[in-house]
């Protein structure tokens, strides 16, 4: 592993010296043909595989046709109407990305809508579309990780924005096993690159606040073969469940709400109901507190065909479910229910109930139980999550939960307490007790329920729900001026 990372890093540095971050990182290959053309000549067979030429060609064609289906609208129930627009338009002044390459460069397949905005300086936002030219002077290249097919890198663009680059991993399982079996380097790269191309199309077709943004792509010659593909996407932080369990309930609820909104979108997407066959925390990232799906190369749009209910079994490690077979011959809501149960077992059961406000726990428990039993679909699940958000954001969850204060507090405007911290859990600050409150009454209630609390400091900072952040203190012997804060000290009771 150490040798592999060192080799990757060395390749990255070499690419900078040659004027491109992509020249030597990834295995070479070729793009799929334009629609209406054959996928091209079959690769040479491998030394240990009889009939390898035809089998590899069959696999390449199958992946190419899958990409074409998703580009034009998914098959099966609820599929969108075919799209005829090009994925990119290379004509000067056209609406798509312009590729700064020699004339030999070739476009991606037809069929998907226009590109989303690329990031402007400093953070994602409106700006020029990104292509190979944007990667010529990147800095801070960092290897983030890899899976079976792709490697992911973090780079900083000349304007200061950080983005992620994805490309086929030449040391990865998919490419390596294919080369060992078929002995066809170009053909195997082409087979693996279709998974990256599929993800690229789905990121575009499934645009949503909880789907990672696609900023562009680059086709660049690598070694002796043209047109290796790298996608340029929004950069997110990995989902670390152990760390999430130590964060505030409000932030954990935000992740679950993000996931509920994403699953609702996938169930009603323009392509039909989309299921994530590889549904694990590592397939998601966090961007400014929002959960976003980033890995879509194992997504599937087609519902499962059936002749009876016995064909509609959802199998999980802990239990199985049997869904009804519709009169049209499709397992009803199987894609949706697979996503929902995975959300329950990987996210909801860990993040939703723990340390939640007591008055919200019955509703949260019902969400966890219903998703664990698949008694709700994504529509009802999202409706209940949105109800929790409304109760929490509006302060209605506080009704009958805060008793009248028996203590009196003196207000000290434009001041703070510089020391006298104590720890509580969960807290927004590891060295002290920093919590969010809906109003002053809730802050008083929290202070009176903490044995150590003798004062609290209301800041001008708010959370994503608009709640104010408050420091709770053990005393007030170190009051100092601060125009952005207000201190309340306990004087009786």
Residue 327 neighbours by CB distance under 10 Å: 7
Helix (H) or strand (E) holding 210: none
Low-confidence stretches of the chain (pLDDT beneath 50):
1-48, 50-51, 74-128
SS3 300: strand
pLDDT value for 305 = 94
* Whether residue 251 lies in the annotated active site: no
- Helix, strand, coil % over all residues of the chain, rounded to 5: 35, 25, 45
DSSP 400-432: TTSPPPSSEEEEEEEEEE-S-B---SS-SSTTS
* Residue 104 in tokens: 């030999």
Q: What is the CA radius of gyration of the chain?
A: 27
**What CA–CA distances, in Å, run from 19 to 131, 182, 221, 340?**
14, 33, 13, 46
What φ, ψ does residue 128 adopt, rounded to 5°? -65, 150
Which residues on neighbouring strands pair with residue 142, listed in sequence order?
Answer: 154
* Residue 126 in tokens: 């409106």
How far is 57 from 328, CA to CA, in rounded Å?
A: 33
Give CA 148 to chain center in angstroms. 18
Which residues on neighbouring strands pair with residue 233, listed in sequence order?
Answer: 164, 214
How far is 152 from 413, CA to CA, in rounded Å?
A: 49
Residue 357's Cβ-side half-sphere holds a number of Cα atoms within 13 Å equal to 25
How far is 389 from 255, CA to CA, in rounded Å?
A: 12
DSSP state of 123: S
- Burial class of residue 487, CB neighbours in 10 A (0-12, 13-18, 19+): buried
Which residues on neighbouring strands pair with residue 408, listed in sequence order?
Answer: 492
pLDDT value for 95 = 30
pLDDT value for 135 = 86
Sheet strands (E) in 189-341? 214-222, 225-233, 237-238, 275-276, 284-287, 290-293, 299-300, 313-315, 320-322
How far is 50 from 365, CA to CA, in rounded Å?
A: 56
How far is 454 from 456, CA to CA, in rounded Å?
A: 7
DSSP 86-108: BS---STT-SS----S-TT--PP
What φ, ψ does residue 99 adopt, rounded to 5°? -105, 110
Nearest to 290 by CA among 258, 242, 264: 258
* Residue 397 in tokens: 């969850």
- Model pTM greater than 0.85? no
Query: Which one of the listed residues 221, 251, 278, 311 is annotated catalytic?
Result: 278
């Amino acid at each position: 592993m150490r040798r592999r990372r060192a080799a990757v890093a060395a390749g990255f540095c070499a690419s900078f010296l040659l004027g491109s971050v992509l020249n030597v990182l990834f295995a070479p290959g070729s793009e799929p043909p334009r629609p209406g053309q054959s996928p091209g000549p079959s690769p040479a067979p491998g030394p240990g595989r009889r009939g390898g030429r035809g089998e590899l060609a069959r696999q390449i064609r199958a992946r190419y046709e899958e990409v074409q289906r998703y580009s034009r609208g998914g098959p099966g129930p609820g599929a969108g109407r075919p799209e005829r627009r090009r994925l990119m338009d290379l004509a000067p002044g056209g609406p798509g990305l312009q590729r700064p390459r020699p004339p030999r460069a070739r476009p991606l397949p037809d069929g998907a809508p226009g590109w989303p905005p690329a990031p402007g300086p400093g953070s994602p936002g409106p700006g020029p579309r990104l292509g190979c030219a944007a990667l010529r002077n990147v800095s801070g290249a960092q290897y983030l990780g890899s899976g079976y097919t792709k490697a992911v890198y973090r780079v900083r663009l000349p304007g200061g924005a950080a983005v992620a680059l994805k490309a086929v991993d030449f040391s990865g399982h998919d490419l390596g096993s294919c080369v060992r079996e078929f002995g066809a380097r170009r053909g195997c790269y082409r087979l693996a690159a279709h998974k990256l191309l599929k993800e690229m199309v789905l990121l575009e077709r499934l645009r949503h606040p909880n789907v990672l943004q696609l900023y562009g792509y680059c086709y660049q010659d690598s070694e002796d073969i043209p047109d290796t593909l790298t996608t340029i996407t929004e950069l997110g932080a990995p989902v670390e469940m152990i760390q999430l369990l130590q964060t505030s309930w409000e932030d954990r609820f935000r992740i679950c709400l993000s996931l509920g909104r994403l699953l609702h979108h996938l169930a009603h997407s323009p392509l039909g109901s989309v299921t994530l066959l590889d549904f694990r925390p590592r397939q998601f990232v966090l961007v400014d507190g929002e959960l976003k799906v980033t890995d879509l190369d194992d997504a599937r749009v087609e519902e499962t065909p059936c002749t009876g209910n016995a064909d509609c079994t959802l199998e999980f490690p802990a239990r199985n479910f049997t869904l009804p077979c519709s009169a049209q011959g499709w397992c009803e809501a199987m894609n949706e229910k697979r996503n929902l149960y995975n959300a329950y077992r990987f996210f909801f059961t860990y993040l939703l109930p723990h340390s939640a406000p007591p008055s919200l726990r019955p509703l949260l428990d019902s969400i966890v139980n219903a998703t664990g039993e698949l008694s709700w679909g994504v529509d009802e699940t999202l409706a209940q999550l949105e109800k929790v958000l409304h109760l929490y954001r509006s302060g209605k969850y506080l009704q009958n939960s805060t008793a009248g204060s028996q203590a009196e507090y003196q207000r000290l405007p434009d001041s703070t307490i510089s020391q006298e911290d104590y720890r509580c859990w969960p807290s927004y600050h590891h060295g002290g007790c920093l919590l969010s409150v809906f109003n002053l009454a809730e802050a008083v209630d929290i202070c009176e329920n903490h044995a150590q609390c003798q004062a609290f400091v209301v800041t001008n900072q708010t959370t994503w729900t608009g709640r104010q952040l408050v420091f709770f203190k053990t005393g007030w012997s170190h009051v100092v001026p601060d125009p952005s804060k207000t201190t309340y000290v306990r004087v009786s009771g």
